[in-house]
Amino acid sequence: MDHHLHAQPLTPLERLQIRDALQDRWRDQVRAITLLSLARYDRDDTGASAPLEAPGPGTTLDAALDRARARLESLEQAMRRLDNRSYGRCVRCGEPIAFPRLTQTPETTRCDPCSRQAVAASPSDDVSVA
Ligand SMILES: [Zn+2]
């Protein structure tokens, strides 16, 4: 079996594995967003009565919520790409993304080399680029 070769398209089984991985992470993100939203609601609601519990202004919680929402969005985009068969190609160089990387980070839009380049160029780039 040579399906680890870079240029192989995803097999039906691999697509199923990716879909599972995406759905797992999607559920995790929905849960995270719910918890973060509740935490923020609590803070907004009871801020006056419990000012010492918050480590600082709301920026950390808001930033975490923004990140969770952005990740949820990128997971949903990945599911759409999986449906319309454009999934698994690097947006930067157009090469197929290696399967192990896809199982690890199923919402990724870049192959390993391109992602490393982006991280080297700008540390925060890879997180925000869909
Ligand atoms: Zn690439």
Catalogue all structural domains in the chain, each as residue range(s) with its CATH number: 12-128 (1.20.120.910)
Cα 99 to ligand 1 centre (Å): 13
State residue 84's pLDDT score. Answer: 87
State residue 46's pLDDT score. Answer: 55
State residue 43's pLDDT score. Answer: 76
State residue 3's pLDDT score. Answer: 43
Cα 70 to ligand 1 centre (Å): 21
Average pLDDT per 10 consecutive residues for the chain, totaling 130 residues: 55 94 97 94 63 59 94 96 91 93 94 90 53
DSSP state of 110: S
State residue 56's pLDDT score. Answer: 55
State residue 26's pLDDT score. Answer: 98
State residue 118's pLDDT score. Answer: 82
- Provide the β-strand partners of residue 96: 89
Cα 97 to ligand 1 centre (Å): 7
Concatenating the DSSP letter of every residue in 27-64 gives: HHHHHHHHHHHHHHHHHHHHTTT-TTTSSSSTHHHHHH
State residue 120's pLDDT score. Answer: 84
Q: Check if the beta carbon of residue 65 is closer than 8 Å to that of residue 37.
A: yes
State residue 41's pLDDT score. Answer: 84
State residue 4's pLDDT score. Answer: 46
State residue 53's pLDDT score. Answer: 52
Cα 55 to ligand 1 centre (Å): 40
